[in-house]
Amino acid sequence: MQEFEGTITMHTMVHDQLTNFFKGFRRDAHPMAIMVAVVGALSAFYHDALDITSKEHRDISAIRLIAKVPTIVAMCHKYSTGLPFMYPQNKLNYVENFMRMMLATPCDDFVPNPVLVRALDRILFFMPIMNKMHQPQPSAWPVPVALIHTFVSRPELPVFGRCPWWCQ
């Protein structure tokens, strides 16, 4: 498991030229549309693993997607809000890194709230399980997605400070 986590951590950075794709979108473009285009553009940078009949190519492509999608999602969020991109840091775990890229700014140190890190870690862990249980009707997705959106998009919630009574 540690080898897998290490492999994911080493692939979180995106090619610097990929950031140029964002400049082609209006600032008010929907972040999901931007994300779809940028994820599609990954094949232009990683054309060494495009043979879908090869298990090795499928494995490295899956690892790259698992590692790079949080970085791309955070970049889409930062672009749509007009804030500078935050690059991943290998010293942080998957969830802490995602929260840092989404919420931090270059002018401040980011210290993630451990309660929210744990909650988001659980949400991300159970999403594939819930998807499998509710396939093909993904009616279980709105709850975790709404929770993530609530914590990321609402500045009045105590993301950095004390945890409210309901999550203690």
**Cα distance between residue 50 and residue 47, in whole Å:** 6
- Rounded distance between C-alpha atoms, residue 122 and residue 167, angstroms: 13
Report which DSSP code applies to 87: -
76-128 pLDDT, tens digit per residue, is 999 999 999 999 998 988 889 999 999 999 998 888 888 988 888 888 766 55
The token duo for 7 is 């492999």
Is pLDDT of 75 > 70?
yes
pLDDT for res 100: 92
pTM over 0.75: no
pLDDT number for residue 77? 92
Whether the predicted pLDDT of 147 surpasses 60: no
Q: Which residues contact 86 (CB under 8 A, 6 or more apart)?
A: 74, 78, 100, 101, 102, 104, 105, 106
Q: Please give the C-alpha separations between residue 158 and each of 87, 95, 98, 147, 151, in angstroms, as whole numbers.
A: 23, 17, 17, 14, 8
